[in-house]
A and B are shown apart, each in its own frame.
Chain A
Amino acid sequence: MSRPRTWGRPPGEPRRVAYLYLLPAFAVYAVFLLYPIGRAVQLSLYDWDGLSLGRWVGLDNYVAIVADEGLRAAFGHALVLIVFYAAGPLVIGLGLAAILNHAKVRGLGFFRTVVFLPQVVAMVVVAVAWRRVYAPDGTLNTLLGAIGLDSLTRGWLGDYTFALPAVGVVGTWFETGLVTVLLLAGMSRIPGDLYEAARLDGAGAVREFFAVTLPSVRGEIAVALTLTVIAALRTFDLVYVTTRGGPGDSTSVPSYEVYHRAFGLSQIGSAAAIGVTLTVVIFVVSFGINRFADRRVS
């Protein structure tokens, strides 16, 4: 049997034809993503109030990010939040998942649901609830008073030392469930004979965790870190609802500054510059995490 050779090509050959198939999706991508990004980059080079004619300022808005103490601080606060959003949940999540996985608890589904529950609630609702918890007459202070620690009570979100950690703890509470469930899924895939082998070699629970469990869930850890670190860097709703960047500027973060400058202060160019910088930072960080995880796996 001989068919004309042209029909014998694999689908999508020559390559130019293959790109045609991608074109519709790419057009959508370009219109809704590439064009706005390009526009944002362009706006970041102007001093613009959103109404009258913009004034070309070149890289001034970017220079301001480095020069302006308040903006530098905002990026610094985002880094602090990474500790609370990513590092904290990872440590707690590893512990919780290991226990839940190892102990083969009854009603695992129930516990998994409970741990995951914060993720289901919208962040704004979470923030409103925690604002009540932290209020001077709120739950936390009532609890402290009840156990005789009256001297520790304060308006947590209005305290210069504690406002940022207080906001961070909400992030820990929020992200831990996600991390736990991710890790739990990873751990449930570990073949039982690996543990058996470890046990035959005389490993205890702790040894087992570090020798078998931890290396096996490296991929899940990378996913969890990527998600939580990005969540930390782009925190907006939590800060907007709880403190609006206060007291003073002690909890301002880049995403909040983007909103605040664009809609509050009408400094659209500056807002766009912060947004672009934040995008680059997030891109670099998530790229780094994935590179790191990949290299370790292979």
Chain B
Amino acid sequence: MNPPLRALAVLTAGALSLAACAPGSSAPPSPAATPLSSVRTDAPSLGNVTLTVWDQEVRGGQAAQMKQLNDAFQAKYPNIKLNRVSRSFDDLNTTLRLALSGNEPPDVVEANNGRSSMGAFVKAGQLRPLDAYAEAYGWKKRYPQSVLRYASYSPDGKVFGEGNLYGLPQVGEVVGVYYNKAKLTKLGLQPPKTWAEFEAALAKAKTAGEVPMQLGNLDKWPAIHVFGTVQSRGVPKDQIGTLAFGRKGASWNTPENTKAAEEIVGWVDKGYFNKGFNGQGYDPAWQAFGKGQGVFMIAGTWLLADLQKSLGKDLGFMLPPGATADAPPVATGGTGLPFAITAKSPHPDAAAAYIDFITNADAMKVLTTTGNLPVADTAQQSVPAGPQQDVFTAFGTVTAKDGLVPYLDYATPTFADTLGAALQDLLAKKQSPQEFLATLEKDYKTFAESNG
């Protein structure tokens, strides 16, 4: 070896040995739950505190409500200063992990519910259990249990959906059926009351030369919501819960799931989706629906504001109809990203006071007036008749009847990807319904078993 090469080798070896401690060895032990007696809810007496808050409320009505609530909070508690850091959903998701593992993480963060975010943070001891605060502030009375479970994990992060509470969401979400009222009238139809009527309406729309259902599946995940809706017609709600929370004890290989997969493939065969849906982007698809192409679209309440702008009074929204008109409502849905307190935050009491402030009854009114769907007290809000009222009624009904089933991609850290890709395969007929379910079963079983 000549001298420069040797020097290089020595320095490289040095760099390697510097890096030799195992990754993640600086992670803190799990935080102990705060005892109820030490919780202080009297925010003005907490002294001068600065809270750093990371949120993803960057667009339209979301940004407006956040600004309004933050201003009100600062006016009420001048001793607590807010340092707001706002990023888009994707940016927040990709940077939060690094921020939390640092020495000075933000105090309050919006962490996505699923296992890949909140679950991983809980497992690594980065988030503070909020049960004592929930007790002190009465959060468990304010929020229905079906909502709180979306931010609940066992302390080791293994069980999703029960255990400690790790965050509080502001807004609700439910996946339902948007429809174009004008088109339905033209077809001589009423909004369908049962699933059979819904399928009949799709068939009639096809015959009349309309696009029965808009779908843009290029981004891989949109079909998850359509499949979830079809699945929840036939598969019992508890089973979906077990599958979606990644618990042991359920299986994808059941006759009900097979039927759901066959049904959605049948929709492709009958031409119920727009042409080339696997190559159509999500945004162009709902924009096309907004421009009047398509009679139905299965999508979430987050599209309400944008669709209302383009379709106005012609827009309608309903929960996916059941087998009979009076069947209890079941729909995929959940909450917006919950606000959580980091384990290393030196001001948990102030952080809890902040979270309480942005989720209390007054906050829910602010959310309503800025065009958002509040997750609690939905029935008490007054909104003008029309699509917004449809959405509020739908969410109020489904939460009151405990009919929300979780998003299927929550199941395992890799399930969003597995299911998204498998659905593209299924809808393109690259996989049979049986192969499709086997792919899902493999991911789910591998995880559920290793997770204990």
Report which A residues bind B (CB closer than 8 A): 15, 19, 26, 30, 34-35, 37-39, 41-43, 46, 48-54, 56, 131, 134-137, 141, 153-160, 163, 243-249, 260, 263-266, 268
Q: Contact check, B15 vs A247: say whether CB atoms are below 8 A apart.
A: no
Known: A155-B218, A268-B23. A248 touches B421 (CB 8 A): yes
Is the CB–CB distance between A247 and B3 below 8 Å? no
- Sorted nearest first, the 6 A-B pairs with minimum C-beta distance are A155-B279, A155-B276, A158-B279, A158-B278, A136-B276, A51-B124
B351 to chain A: closest CB distance in Å? 20
Tell me, rounded to whole Å, the shortest Cβ–Cβ distance linking B93 to chain A: 8
A265 to B27, CA, bound (A): 19
Task: Indicate whether B32 reaches chain A with its CB closer than 8 angstroms.
Answer: no
Across-interface contacts of B401 in A (CB, < 8 A):
none
B24-A48 in contact (CB<8A): yes
How far is B422's CA from A249's CA once the two chains are assembled, in angstroms? 9
Most buried by A among B24, B120, B428: B24
Contact with A along B21-48 (1 / 0, CB 8 A): 0111101000000000000000000000
Q: Is B284 an interface residue (CB 8 A)?
A: yes
Known: A53-B24, A160-B428, A246-B218. 20 other contacts (CB 8 A): A30-B15, A35-B15, A38-B12, A49-B24, A51-B27, A51-B97, A51-B124, A51-B126, A52-B120, A52-B123, A154-B279, A155-B275, A155-B279, A156-B279, A157-B218, A158-B279, A159-B276, A246-B220, A247-B279, A249-B421
Q: Give B233-281 interface residues, CB cut-off 8 Å to A.
A: 274-281
B121 within 8 A of A: yes
- Whether B24 pairs with A135 at a CB distance below 8 angstroms is no
Q: When chains A and B are docked, how far (Å) is the Cα of A48 from the Cα of B284?
A: 37
Residue from B125, B288, B422, B424 in contact with A137 in the complex, judged by beta carbons closer than 8 Å: B288
Closest to A134 in B: B279
Residue of A nearest to B279 (CB): A155
**Contact (Cβ within 8 A) A154 B276:** yes
- Complex Cα distance A141/B275, Å? 12
Residues in A neighbouring B420, C-beta threshold 8 A: 246
| Contact across chains for B276 and A158 when beta carbons are under 8 A apart | yes
Is A264 within 8 A of B417, CB to CB?
Answer: yes
Count chain A CB atoms within 10 A of each CB in B11, B18, B278 and give the residue with the most: B278
Contacts of B416 in A (CB 8 A): 264
| Minimal Cβ-Cβ distance residue in B for A268 | B23
Q: Which of A51, A53, A155 interacts with B280 by CB under 8 Å?
A: A155
Which chain A residue lies CB-closest to B420? A246
**B19 CB contact (under 8 Å) in A35, A50, A155, A263:** A35
B390 CB–A CB distance under 8 Å: no
Q: Which residues of A contact B1 (CB under 8 A)?
A: none
Are A266 and B413 also in contact (CB < 8 A) when A46-B23, A51-B121 are? yes
Which residues of A sit under 8 angstroms from B24, Cβ to Cβ?
48-54
Query: A2–B278 Cα gap in the complex (Å)?
Result: 85
- Give bound CA distance, A121 to B284, whole Å: 23
CB contacts (< 8 Å) of B274 on chain A: these are 136
Within 8 A of A (CB), among B267-308: 274-281, 284, 288
Q: Mark B1-19, 1 if CB is under 8 A from A, else 0.
A: 0011001000110011011
* Complex contacts, A52 vs chain B, CB 8 Å: 24, 27, 120, 123-125
B217 at the interface (CB under 8 A from A): yes
* B116 close to chain A: CB less than 8 A: yes
Contact indicator A42/B425 (Cβ below 8 Å): no
Query: Do A15 and B23 have beta carbons less than 8 Å apart?
Result: no
A77 and B124 CA atoms in complex are apart in Å by 36
Cβ contact of B279, chosen from A39, A48, A159, cutoff 8 A: A159
A to B CB contacts below 8 Å, 21 in the list: A19-B3, A39-B19, A50-B24, A50-B101, A51-B120, A53-B24, A135-B280, A135-B284, A137-B284, A141-B276, A153-B275, A154-B276, A155-B276, A155-B277, A158-B280, A246-B218, A247-B279, A248-B422, A263-B94, A263-B97, A266-B120
Please tell me if the beta carbons of A247 and B97 are within 8 angstroms of each other in the complex.
no
Does B100 count as interface, using CB distance less than 8 angstroms?
A: yes
CA distance in complex: A46, B19 (Å): 13
Contact of B124 with A42 in the complex, beta carbons under 8 Å: no
**Nearest CB of chain B from residue A151's CB, rounded to whole Å:** 12
* C-alpha gap A37/B13 in the complex (Å): 11
A227 vs chain B, min Cβ distance (A): 26
CB distance from A252 to the nearest CB of B (A): 9
- How far, in whole Å, are A54 and B124 apart by their CA atoms in the complex? 11
- Asked if B349 lies at the interface with its beta carbon under 8 angstroms from chain A, I say no
Measured in the bound complex, the distance between the Cα atoms of B23 and A49 in whole Å is 9
Q: Given A50-B101, A155-B278: A15 and B218 within 8 A (CB)?
A: no
B327 within 8 A of partner (CB): no
State whether B23 touches A43 (Cβ < 8 A).
yes
B145 interfacial contact with A, CB 8 Å: no
Inside 8 A of B18's CB, which chain A residues have their CB?
35, 38
Instruction: List the A residue with the shortest CB-CB distance to B12.
Output: A34
Complex Cα–Cα for A15 and B120 (A): 53
Q: In the complex, are the beta carbons of A158 and B218 less than 8 A apart?
A: yes
Q: Which listed residue (A34, A41, A244) contacts B219, Cβ 8 A?
A: A244
B residues less than 8 Å from A260 (CB atoms): 417
Q: Are B277 and A266 in contact (CB-based, < 8 A)? A: no
**Please, how many angstroms separate the alpha-carbon atoms of A249 and B125 in the complex?**
34
Determine the chain B residues whose CB is within 8 A of the CB of A157 once the complex forms.
218, 279
Best-buried of B16, B23, B93, B413 by chain A (most CB within 10 Å): B23
B305 CB to nearest A CB, Å: 23
User: Which residue on chain A has the smallest CB distance to residue B16?
Assistant: A38
**A163 CB, min distance to chain B CBs, angstroms:** 8
Q: Is the CB of B124 within 8 A of A38?
A: no
- The answer to whether the Cβ of B20 comes within 8 Å of any Cβ in the partner chain is yes
B430 CB-CB contact with A under 8 Å: yes
Question: Are B19's CB and A246's CB within 8 A?
Answer: no
